[in-house]
């Protein structure tokens, strides 16, 4: 079993308090559904971002990713199946899935 980072891009936050409460319920339900497969529920990202180049130069970055979660799965295909249930998709986001290497 490996860890997979679900990297969210795009989408938007619900605008009303009622819509925000519904979104939180959807996230809570999805996390409960995942059970032990959920390693880190993650968080959304702010728009503040920087890039550090190989020469050490720091510059402002245009954020592409909007948040993340980390799940455990037996394969990339299984992780993709898990990602299909993410409530972030309801807000118009897409998900890129990265398998991590356990080297540390």
Alpha-helix runs per DSSP H in the chain: 17-34, 76-83
- Whether 47 is covered by a domain: the verdict is yes
Q: For residue 86, give every residue at least 6 positions away whose Cβ sits within 8 Å of its Cβ, in sequence order, or none.
A: 6, 8, 30, 69, 95
Distance CA 4, CA 38 (A): 10
- Whether 14 is covered by a domain: the verdict is yes
pLDDT string in tens for the chain (104-residue length): 999 999 999 988 888 999 999 999 999 999 999 999 999 999 999 999 999 999 999 999 988 999 999 999 999 999 999 999 999 999 899 999 999 998 87
- Whether 31 is covered by a domain: the verdict is yes
pTM recorded for the entire structure = 0.90
Q: Provide the domain limits for residue 59.
A: 2-99
- Whether 32 is covered by a domain: the verdict is yes
Alpha-helix runs per DSSP H in 7-89: 17-34, 76-83
- Whether 104 is covered by a domain: the verdict is no
Distance CA 96, CA 6 (A): 6
- Whether 84 is covered by a domain: the verdict is yes
Q: Is 24 helix (H, G, I), strand (E, B) or coil?
A: helix
User: Are 101 and 10 a contacting pair, CB within 8 Å?
Assistant: no
- Whether 7 is covered by a domain: the verdict is yes
Indicate the number of domains in the chain: 1
**What CATH code is carried by the domain that includes residue 65?**
3.30.70.1060
């Amino acid at each position: 079993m490996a860890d997979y980072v679900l990297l969210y891009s795009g989408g938007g936050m619900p605008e009303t308090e009622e819509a925000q409460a519904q979104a939180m319920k959807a996230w809570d339900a999805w996390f409960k559904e995942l059970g032990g497969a959920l390693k880190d529920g993650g968080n959304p990202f702010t728009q503040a971002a920087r890039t550090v180049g190989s020469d050490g130069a720091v510059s402002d970055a245009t954020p592409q990713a909007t948040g993340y979660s980390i799940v455990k799965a037996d394969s990339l295909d299984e992780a993709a199946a898990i990602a299909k249930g993410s409530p972030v998709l309801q807000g118009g986001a897409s998900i890129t899935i990265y398998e991590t290497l356990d080297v540390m």
